[in-house]
A and B are shown apart, each in its own frame.
Chain A
Amino acid sequence: MEELDGEPTVTLIPGVNSKKNQMYFDWGPGEMLVCETSFNKKEKSEMVPSCPFIYIIRKDVDVYSQILRKLFNESHGIFLGLQRIDEELTGKSRKSQLVRVSKNYRSVIRACMEEMHQVAIAAKDPANGRQFSSQVSILSAMELIWNLCEILFIEVAPAGPLLLHLLDWVRLHVCEVDSLSADVLGSENPSKHDSFWNLPGNTQTLTELELKWQHWHEECERYLQDSTFATSPHLESLLKIMLGDEAALLEQKELLSNWYHFLVTRLLYSNPTVKPIDLHYYAQSSLDLFLGGESSPEPLDNILLAAFEFDIHQVIKECSIALSNWWFVAHLTDLLDHCKLLQSHNLYFGSNMREFLLLEYASGLFAHPSLWQLGVDYFDYCPELGRVSLELHIERIPLNTEQKALKVLRICEQRQMTEQVRSICKILAMKAVRNNRLGSALSWSIRAKDAAFATLVSDRFLRDYCERGCFSDLDLIDNLGPAMMLSDRLTFLGKYREFHRMYGEKRFADAASLLLSLMTSRIAPRSFWMTLLTDALPLLEQKQVIFSAEQTYELMRCLEDLTSRRPVHGESDTEQLQDDDIETTKVEMLRLSLARNLARAIIREGSLEGS
């Protein structure tokens, strides 16, 4: 069972008197809603709570920092590059690539630090300035930890080069924190060391170096024994330092800004060829000696100690607790996972630690109105729960413009999330229909290949036609193209409009056969048949015979079909009578026209041989 690692922090909600009234809260994906209720614990409840506001509480404020956004965006690019590193690469080339990625991440953190530092200095409001400064120190700590992890876990420096890396590490971080002390410390670090090790192009083996160092160490000891420098206490203490005498080193405590500087200096003089596995002995004792029982270790110290002990999981756990944003642990864990350093550490819901952290980070991004696009790529690289999480998140992104909707749809289509595509297109199409943008609605149904919605849109068009007697949006209907095939109703709409066009162009024979085929092929909805038959009237009344006898029989059959199965309307009596009147008149007129046409057609066909 989990135990509390520390006391939970208390956040006071302004304007809400929590002692008097109870508060109500609800969790969201990344935020919490809080408001005051009118329920009073002790006294009689008031009618209305005194505080009229609903508050949104966010734990992760970093996502809203302007400068940290650059960190998120740049590291997103590095993350993608890392995922795409060829899995086939092994050995040295892979390691050098991974080290390069690590350095990239670190340089991004440093750039952020730089910028934030500039802003902190330039801040007019001291409270702001302090906030930025504390943010700078958090970033600095992050970079410190990452750098150490790079040396120990990614670079995996063996004994010998290990100390060099640690020296660089300390030099880098101590120097940046306090440039004044850096000069002093720079001189403290003896140049003898550099020339001793012959830094570039060092071709000596470890044993040779050890021997040389032993020799030098013994020589120093001899000098001390012989009290060669007895006259100058300063030089004597320097000699003691060079022999790695801890007491002498601790005397210079003010120059050593922290325990890890002490550690590295100590190692430099007492055991420069230290092996990685021995580091933690020195680390623990250095920490204890340096603190001297006066103060207790800070979270940063514990994290560094855990790193020296090569306990990666502890490092990640401590970082997760200490930092308010998942960015650091997510990216570091992902990188270490690529170094194949994490065993499958199964968590409660079966995914591994890397995936868990990435999911948390990406979900945090989705809570931001703008950074959700970055989150998509992170979900892509979570093999177990990434896709499902993405499906849930992407449907809930608010779509206020078509352009944003198009981007979301493109993301879904690229990942074959057809359900989401359909649902988003349906929402947009419905909005369009409500706004009377039938062309847009059709365009969305085509994109989703949603035949049902296309039918709905076509019905709207047809209804408009019946009401107004003419088509709206001819530009759309005339130019449907292959989209016509999406739904039967849409095809009918297109063909019906074609019929009107043909009639307008006086291509009566074509128009007539088209009209007939619309009815006989059954793509015309039944409700529309009366309209179609009425459209046939002018053709029937033309001077020349247009409909052949056969066609006329067909028409008559359709009419009979229609009249025999007339459903009973639920309207009032008077209206029904009127309707019936109109209906019966229409039907009679049709019957008359059909009969007349039939007569003429028969005569014509009888007189001209088989026309």
Chain B
Amino acid sequence: MEEIYAKFVSQKISKTRWRPLPPGSLQTAETFATGSWDNEENYISLWSIGDFGNLDSDGGFEGDHQLLCDIRHHGDVMDLQFFDQERIVAASSTGCVTVFLHHPNNQTLSVNQQWTTAHYHTGPGSPSYSSAPCTGVVCNNPEIVTVGEDGRINLFRADHKEAVRTIDNADSSTLHAVTFLRTPEILTVNSIGQLKIWDFRQQGNEPSQILSLTGDRVPLHCVDRHPNQQHVVATGGQDGMLSIWDVRQGTMPVSLLKAHEAEMWEVHFHPSNPEHLFTCSEDGSLWHWDASTDVPEKSSLFHQGRSSTFLSHSISNQANVHQSVISSWLSTDPAKDRIEITSLLPSRSLSVNTLDVLGPCLVCGTDAEAIYVTRHLFS
């Protein structure tokens, strides 16, 4: 792990996301967005990591990131997602969901659409209106799903003024994060340690499935789905534990891995190399989990009755399949030391709130008001 560049940016970074590359593009990631929190004035900013050999006026490094443009954001930026190449959706602590539009020709950001009362405790109609922070947002063009501290799930469509579907009181506790499973299905995690799967095709307000941890009901803060295998999901909890789940099999996690010493804020599978997983935490560290292996022999790793039959069944059926198709995360046996864990940040800092990976590039933001970027993740 070399060449990670840090830059102090005078704002605590709550979320950072790479701009997605056009499909079929051979470029590497170039632009990322950040959202700040806890300031009197918060900003959504777009940064560029520039071209190779770019030396600007003060002789910045090749990897040094430069601010392209920014725009004022009302409230803390609780979550951020790129809706498409030009649009960014931001979730606010005021309960508002905003779509920002980037104008590349004059390098500005503007508000494209806003749902101001997406999340609330008591509704806008009543005199004692109180808003609730919107904690998570996920996009799948043209749909946007948001969840919040009010336990509400909203389904928005870009350019539709009202929510397409709202599930009130979907959860009696706070919903911390949401992700898409298959397109009409989403998965949410909450502060009593439960995963709930919701199917938008069904009419009711009940989840179609509930999974939870055994033992203590530790709140879950983040979730990410395996890019290729839609039934494999990773979650991070308040105790820093990483859990891997198979949503088709039972209601308990497949593996629990003790990771950080404090809340795990984000977990990400690498979108093109899903054998790699990244987590960041309140304890100020960012870990790279490498489960890739060239060893063809896997029989020693079957340790759970059900999954072993499944795996051996599939192996015998598809004799020529590459081992990585069967997710190594499901057959993880930590005792075998198969996962290589590396800490990516040079020194312990304040909380690492956010990270994102795209190709060989990684960006993360901390409470020490610094953004770290590396463009050589796998060298």
Contact = CB atoms under 8 A, between A and B. Distances in A.
Nearest to B38: A370
Nearest to A480: B217
B93 A476 contact: no
B350 A439 contact: no
A541 interface: no
B249 to A, nearest CB: 18
Interface in A132-184: none
Interface residues of A, number: 42
Contact of A435 (B9, B12, B150, B370): B150
Nearest to B219: A443
A293 B175 CA distance: 73
A140 B243 CA distance: 52
Contact of A476 (B122, B173, B214, B349): B173
B174 A402 contact: yes
Contact of A437 (B150, B215, B238): B150
A439 B349 contact: no
Chain A facing B: main interface SS: helix
Nearest to B206: A475
B38 A404 contact: yes
B217 A443 contact: yes
B225 to A, nearest CB: 21
B110 interface: no
A244 B216 CA distance: 80
Contacts, number: 128
Of B133, B151, B172, B192, chain A has the most CB atoms within 10 Å of the CB of B172
A401 B76 contact: yes
A438 interface: yes
B217 A369 contact: no
Nearest to A413: B262
A91 to B, nearest CB: 26
A403 interface: yes
A476 B172 contact: yes
A483 interface: yes
Interface in B185-212: 190-192, 194, 196, 207, 210, 212
Contact of B39 (A369, A410, A476, A481): A369
A76 interface: yes
Interface stretch (A65-73, A342-350, A512-520): A65-73
B10 interface: yes
A410 B367 CA distance: 14
A440 B172 contact: yes
B90 to A, nearest CB: 14
Contact of A483 (B216, B282, B347): B216
B121 interface: yes
Contacts of B215: 481-482
Given A472-B172, A476-B172, A70 B210 contact: no
Interface in A53-100: 66-67, 69-70, 73-74, 76-77, 81
A81 B368 CA distance: 14
B149 interface: yes
A214 interface: no
> Which 7 A-B pairs have CB atoms at the shortest separation, nearest pair first?
A439-B173, A439-B172, A473-B172, A435-B121, A70-B8, A69-B10, A370-B38
Interface of A: 66-67, 69-70, 73-74, 76-77, 81, 114, 118, 369-370, 373-374, 400-404, 406-407, 410, 414, 435-440, 442-443, 446, 472-473, 475-476, 479-483
11 contacts: A70-B8, A70-B369, A401-B133, A402-B133, A403-B135, A404-B76, A407-B282, A439-B191, A475-B194, A482-B216, A482-B217
